[in-house]
Structure 1
Amino acid sequence: MSGAHIHLVLPDATERAACFRALADGRHIVRSFASGADWLDAGAADDCAVLLFHWDQPGAVDGGAMLAAIAQSPDMACFVAASRLSVSESRSILRGGANDLLPAPLDPRLVRSVIGDAWTAWERQRALYADRRAAEARLAALTPRERDILDAIAAGLGNKAIARRLDVSPRTVEVHRANIMRRSGAASVAELLRLRFTVEFARGPSANPVHFGA
């Protein structure tokens, strides 16, 4: 994603202006569009972090087409405004990728609250992603054997236990540990483990063999 903008795709000019004013507080870049067609024609999905659009769109690009477009941007938070939907329609929209439904006509105060929370969550996720990328870069130089030893350290094993597991001498483990610290740039074992867990937790719990509190 090349930018971090909030986008409003609301056909009603008065509603669009009111929501724009509610969100344009200087913290965010807010862009507004009169239709889904305008939004797609502008290629705006590339710089959109949070999207709010009305389900009933004028022209050829309807709400379903908007959902199909955001499916290509899984990091985007999406909210759909609608005045009258059946339970099955609501379920379909949420399953299609929308984070939530907002009642129309839109209350600018509700929009500011919901979109503000979504923006905060997006920023938090972006920070976690940056941390993971930085941790991956610092661990990228480790050899396969050093990664095995790092996994063993993360599992709570000491040098002797690691040596038995890998069928090497404790002295060899010590040398590998020193190399791991040097290659990763970690100043302590705690920092090294933070790097390792940052990478593993970002991949999901199934990828992390260490379970706390079990």
Structure 2
Amino acid sequence: MARFKCEKAIRYGAIADAFALSRAAGVGQRGDVTGPCGHIHLILPDPVERAACFRVLTAGPARVVRSFASADDWFAAGDDDSCAVLLLRWEQPGAVSGAALLAHAAARDGIAAFVAAERLSIAESRAILLSGARDLLPAPLDPRLVRRTIDGALADHAAWQVACERQRAAAARLAALTPRERDILEGIAAGLGNKAIAQRLDLSPRTVEVHRANIMRRAGAGHVAELLHLRFVAEQARVAPGNRVRFGA
């Protein structure tokens, strides 16, 4: 048994110092506490695997990494609001299963969930991906693959945050429009001229011209192309990065 543990530690590049290893694998252990892209949460029952992934993810750019021994511990911590990337083992000890954990993560905007599992059938893999997993990773986990995969997920998350902020800013600029001005904006977006919009809304062309000028002023748009771009961005759904249906990164 001792030989097996030693070989396993070497395989994952674990630190020989037992204190350092247990500290890195500790439940709720944090990495650096700065970084704008959200937290990384590891829910990995195996302490050696958890320590190896924790270590490789906290090396380099400042980021928050939290590790947990089970889904039960993760729910008990109540820190899912900060989570941007979740890496979990499909086989979970305790009352909360991997399926229940994935369902919870999939219901939250902005959480990219990665599932590590062994010996899954094609049907099981497909079901996990359709349940909301961003990707499947082969287990036992290779820390280098974990690092590459999560780095990509964090980059996607940062881009998603920027897109959300642009959407909010565009929506705020158009929020001051009156219902009539919104009707006219829809006509402009449909490619209609002032006369066609006037006929559609039973207005005079001059009234449409006045409303159109007010729309440009309220939206802070310098030209029609900018106005239409604002409308497009404001109406975009703020959808978190989607699944990549593939095995491995």
| TM-score, normalized by the shorter chain, greater than 0.5 | yes
2:88 to 53, 73, 85: 53
Tell me the CA shift for residue 83 of structure 1.
1.6
Partner of 2:123: 88
Which sits farther off after the overlay, 20-29 or 193-202? 20-29
Over residues 11-53 of structure 1, what are the superposed CA-to-partner deviations in whole Å (9 max), with x where a residue is unaligned? Answer: 1222112212222222432111111111110012111111001
Structure number with greater Rg is 2
Partner of 1:106: 141
Over residues 135-161 of structure 1, what are the superposed CA-to-partner deviations in whole Å (9 max), with x where a residue is unaligned? Answer: 111111111110111111112222222
Aligned counterparts of 1:64 and 1:74: Cα–Cα separation in 2: 18
Q: Which runs of 5+ in 2 are unaligned?
A: 1-36, 240-249
Partner of 1:13: 47
Give the TM-score normalised by the residue count of structure 1. Answer: 0.87
Q: Which runs of 5+ in 1 are unaligned?
A: 205-214
The count of residues paired between Structure 1 and Structure 2 equals 202
Partner of 2:245: none
For residues 203 and 168 of structure 1, do their structure 2 counterparts lie closer, same or farther at Cα, with a shift above 3 Å needed? farther
Aligned counterparts of 2:123 and 2:73: Cα–Cα separation in 1: 28
Over residues 95-149 of structure 1, what are the superposed CA-to-partner deviations in whole Å (9 max), with x where a residue is unaligned? Answer: 2211111001111111111111111112212211111111111111111110111
Partner of 1:171: 206
Alignment partner of 1:187 is 2:231 = no
Alignment partner of 1:4 is 2:38 = yes
Aligned counterparts of 1:94 and 1:49: Cα–Cα separation in 2: 18
Q: Percent identity?
A: 65
Contact 2:167 2:238 in 1 (8 A): no
**What code does the residue aligned with 2:220 have?**
G
Alignment partner of 1:118 is 2:133 = no
Aligned counterparts of 2:236 and 2:106: Cα–Cα separation in 1: 24
Give the TM-score normalised by the residue count of structure 2. Answer: 0.75
